[in-house]
Structure 1
Amino acid sequence: MAIFRKLARPLLASAFVTGGLRTWRDPGAVAPAAEPVVRPLAARVPALPDDAATLVRLHSAVQIGAGVLFATGRLPRLSALALAAGLAPATLAGHAYWTVEDPEERARRRAHFYRNLSLLGGLLIAAADTHGKPSLAYRVRNAG
């Protein structure tokens, strides 16, 4: 199984690192789509910036950093959780296919939406992967 992890992690992380780099270079291309999610999120979490471009750039930095950590096997569970936490709002902001009337654009957004759901599933599996060792909760329960 170790060889699969060494191969699968960089493959899964590549989508986040390349997407993060693209967005880091040009946050203005994504900021308008993120605006409907940024406002409510910034209202609930005061530490977050309420400027869409700044939050998009922050999100891309997390994608790059967590993606590289995940790909190299450093803090894989934590980095997978960080990527998953950022993927959910990004998917809702960028691929809300139910708001689009044009059939071709709707189909394109739907495909991207379900691709992101698939990535989210992979990240959740990776976040729960203990490399065959008992979980921390199991070890704590049976430590005595």
Structure 2
Amino acid sequence: MNDRIDLARMKPEQIAPLEALMSSWPDCWRDLATSHYVTLLSGTAGALTDAEPAELAKLAAALTMGIVHDLGGSQPYIPVGAVLVANSKARRVIDLLEQRKTYRQVADATGLTESRVRQIESEWRRQQMAERQQGLFIE
């Protein structure tokens, strides 16, 4: 989600279509709807990039009401998703290395250090070797 809009940098007129829909909502609902809205507005939801902000606000509100309906009254724990982010970043590192990019180029493209890029490559190579050796029967 690197292309996601920073909520702190949004202008009041950008968030206004959503604010109009949730004037009496509890804070937790507002937070969820705002998160949905920023994600949708950022275009990270794919095909919705041509939608008007007012339509995206309605969709964000509907998604929030779905969560309220499904999880309302409970206290769900929402993990940060560090493993998923790390895995996608590691996949990006390997993809770039397979394109014959240098460690410096990969580090610059991913925001990692060259040392971390090398660690990811090393771990990936270990995993690849382990997978290949699983089929060997040595007695």
TM-score normalized by the length of structure 2: 0.25
More helix by share: 1
RCO greater where, 1 or 2, for CA within 8 Å and sep 6 or more? 1
Rg larger in structure: 2
Taking structure 1 as the reference length, the TM-score comes to 0.24
